[in-house]
Chain A
Amino acid sequence: MVQYAPAHLDASFAALADVTRRGVLEQLGRSDASITDLAEKFRMTLTGMKKHVGVLEQAGLVTTEKVGRVRTCKLGKCRLQEETAWLERYRQLWDLRFDALEKVVEELKRKEKIDGRKKRQ
């Protein structure tokens, strides 16, 4: 029912397919961290960690901000989840609205029938 550009999903799944990147997300869920912190924690080179963070950032799962010489990473707002929830609520609202519209239309149809009969009589 709710559809997305496949690219959007591909990026998220690709980002989550790697065990280090999942670890980074878990870590950032506990607290923000710099790329250096993350590289140390995951025993990686700075360049390697930068690449992983780049993939997560591309997918919108992580945001980074550079202050001075330090790039801090934090969890991105999960757009996909937000959007899905919003669309479903929006759908429910319109569903109710249209149910009410059908009642109004039903009533108008009934009135027309009665009026039609009266005219014929």
Chain B
Amino acid sequence: MDAKRDNEPAFTKNRTTVERKSERELVITRTINGPARIVFEAFTKPELLKQWWVPKSCGVSLLSCEADVRVGGRYRLVYDASPKPMEFFGRYLEVTPYSRLVWTNEEGEDDGAVTTVTFEEKAGKTLLVMHDLYPSKEALDDAFVGMEGGMPEALEQLDEFVVTLGASRPHGRT
């Protein structure tokens, strides 16, 4: 009956995928072991959001995390990054409980991407699809080049913490 169970034993870590869907779109997917209601809550309550958005292992911490999750409400995340704190902010365009969230990313100089997250529940698990729509092909291309060329330190740090995390988790997720 449940063919999925054969392919995905309970101890297997859920896979995260990233794909450039088109010139202007980036899509991230991941299944989370829990109902959409709870996953949605973790996205929309600031006190929960700050527990996972910046994982402890990354060496960067959140200085503040505000999120007024309703249509037109604003969010603002401040990271304790070097040489100076980094801010990410924007506004919620759509808030549909347990199924859909849309927000803007306004920290950049130009128009930022619009992020749409959908929560799709199936057999007690939730498929998360995060879709970033950039205003132009150039904006997404610049994101790649910018990250690679402009923030080598941040990337090195990311590499380091990924390695550290891998080493400290020999048995995968518990």
Which A positions have Cβ atoms within 8 angstroms of B?
Answer: 1-4, 77, 79, 82-83, 85-106, 108-109, 112
Looking at chain A's contact residues, is the secondary structure mostly helix, strand, loop, or mixed? helix
Contact of A94 among B16, B32, B155, B165 (CB under 8 A): B16
Which B residues are CB-close (under 8 A) to A1?
17-19
Q: A89-B155, A96-B58, A98-B16 are in contact. Are A83 and B144 (CB under 8 A)?
A: yes
Which B positions have Cβ atoms within 8 angstroms of A?
Answer: 13-14, 16-20, 26, 28, 30, 32-34, 38-39, 41-42, 48, 51-58, 128, 130, 141, 143-145, 147-148, 155, 158-159, 161-162, 165, 173
- A102 contacts B173, C-beta separation under 8 Å: yes
Q: How far is the CA of A110 from the CA of B166 in the complex (A)?
A: 26
- A105 contacts B165, C-beta separation under 8 Å: no
Given A100-B52, A101-B52, 7 more pairs with CB closer than 8 A:
A79-B141, A87-B20, A94-B16, A94-B130, A96-B161, A103-B52, A104-B51
Which A residues are CB-close (under 8 A) to B155?
89
- B145 contacts A77, C-beta separation under 8 Å: yes
Q: A86-B148, A98-B16 are in contact. Are A108 and B42 (CB under 8 A)?
A: yes
